[in-house]
Structure 1
Amino acid sequence: MKRIVFVVLLLFVPVDAVELVSASSLQFTKDTFEVDEQQELSIKQAIELANPPALKWNKNAQLIDAINIDLDKRRKSIGSNGKRKHWNILFGVPETNKVFLVTIHDGKIDYTNDVTRDGTSPYPKKEFIQMKDIQYDSPELLQKALKIGGIYPGENWAKGYNFMLRKDIERNVTILLIIGWNSDQTKMKEMGFNASTGEYIKPN
């Protein structure tokens, strides 16, 4: 699982077929502060939207991870409500190498794609996330992160606050990551929370 998670975490870009591509840079204009909140989804809402097509693809599909995509135009307070407009939601079938991607743009499913690769090792059952384990959502956990302090929205790359859900197989915990930057924008910073209990999880 790490081979996918870490690349996506570092790049925050959409996946097209089985390749990672870079998002085009966007110019800052006077209307970049306008946003349709109807298009924004929390991470749980994005997963719930993506789940039906995944089950249609394969009735045994389960969630691997979810992460927002850094496609928003530069504006103030991107993700400050715990929601984003663009998401990649990745599903798979336990003990197989089958993988299915659901991409959400502007709060709606833009495309779905079977991204299974021949020859990849099977995904163990322990790497999958159960829907019942997602009891806390990105808006409320962002507020917890802000109360703890020390995390700030990105300004140019990985803009605003970003969100990722993944399984920590070493601790057997589903973690919701709030991802931002330090105060001087020189280093990315993440804060993890148990998605089942809302408890803050200190980094290893």
Structure 2
Amino acid sequence: MNKQKRHDIFSRLQAQNPNPTTELEYSSSFELLIAVILSAQATDVGVNKATKILFPVANTPETIFALGVEGLKQYIKTIGLYNAKAENIIKTCKILMTQHDSQVPDTREALEALPGVGRKTANVILNTAFRQPAMAVDTHIFRVSNRTNLAPGKNVLEVEKKLLKVVPKEFLLDAHHWLILHGRYVCKARKPMCNSCIIEDLCEYKEKTE
């Protein structure tokens, strides 16, 4: 895909949605961190249902740590892998309290040192909470990048690095959200909705749907 096509793709996505953001509901960087940890192999809708009950009760490292693993489980048991996630979150809260003055760190190294936080989660926090040019490649972004030929790659890290290289700088901060939303609602896994896609003529997918 050439440079002009990539620019046109993001120009259109921006025009359609000038201020994209995550569909996870949060009101602080800490709430976002907890929501993203919970969202692994779970839907944003499911996570939001749980955090709507959890956050009014506990939404700081201290208050969630005070719940303990068993107490936290009661709020997140509707979410997949909740046992492991509860343990990781309690450990993360302790590290934030003892090593970071209860603040969410703004570096990849410090974020990835937190239990339950991998590269993708760290990228979401860096981009969404701290507005750093990071690219959290999930299944949606991986699919869209390969299917459209925007930034093809064999694995998520390859796609991440390629996107950071080829996405025009003016769109880099919001590209992550546009691509996720496009993959979630238009360029779907089983059958992409090519006939209602605003970038259909720019996309290089050979098997477009009617």
TM-score range, shorter chain: under 0.3
The TM-score normalised by the length of structure 2 is 0.25
Higher fraction of strand: 1
The TM-score normalised by the length of structure 1 is 0.25
Flag the structure with larger Rg.
Answer: 2
Higher fraction of helix: 2
